């Protein structure tokens, strides 16, 4: 018997900075290691993760390349395609 499932509801909104931190930590990288991979200094990475500095599209591209994810994972972590 086939059951229909509803998608789980999101309980927490994730900011771009938080998304950056989650992806970085999942890959077991320190801020210093990410700084070495990207050329973005560690204090700037910290500021982005804590929402004190905007990530921006160009930085998102550099970070995404180093983290092997699509830039949208960082820039638009809460985006959902409308169901048609």
| Domain assignments of the chain as residue spans, ordered by start | 16-75
Greatest Cα pair distance, the chain, in angstroms, is 55
For residue range 66-79, list pLDDT tens digits in order: 999 999 999 988 87
Over the stretch 13-40, which tens digit does the pLDDT of each residue have? Answer: 899 999 999 999 999 999 999 999 999 9
Note if the pTM is more than 0.85.
no
Looking at CATH, the fold of the domain delimited by 16-75 is given as 434 Repressor (Amino-terminal Domain) (1.10.260)
Q: Average pLDDT over the chain, rounded to whole? A: 89
- What tokens were used for 52? 């004190």
| Number of Cβ atoms within 10 Å of the Cβ of 58 | 9
């Amino acid at each position: 018997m086939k059951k229909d499932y509803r998608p789980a509801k999101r309980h927490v909104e994730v900011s771009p900075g938080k998304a950056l931190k989650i992806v970085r930590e999942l890959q077991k990288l320190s801020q210093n290691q990410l700084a070495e991979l990207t050329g973005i200094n560690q204090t700037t990475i910290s500021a982005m993760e804590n929402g004190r500095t905007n990530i921006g599209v160009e930085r998102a591209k550099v970070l995404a390349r180093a983290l092997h994810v699509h830039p949208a994972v960082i820039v638009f972590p809460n985006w959902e395609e409308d169901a048609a």
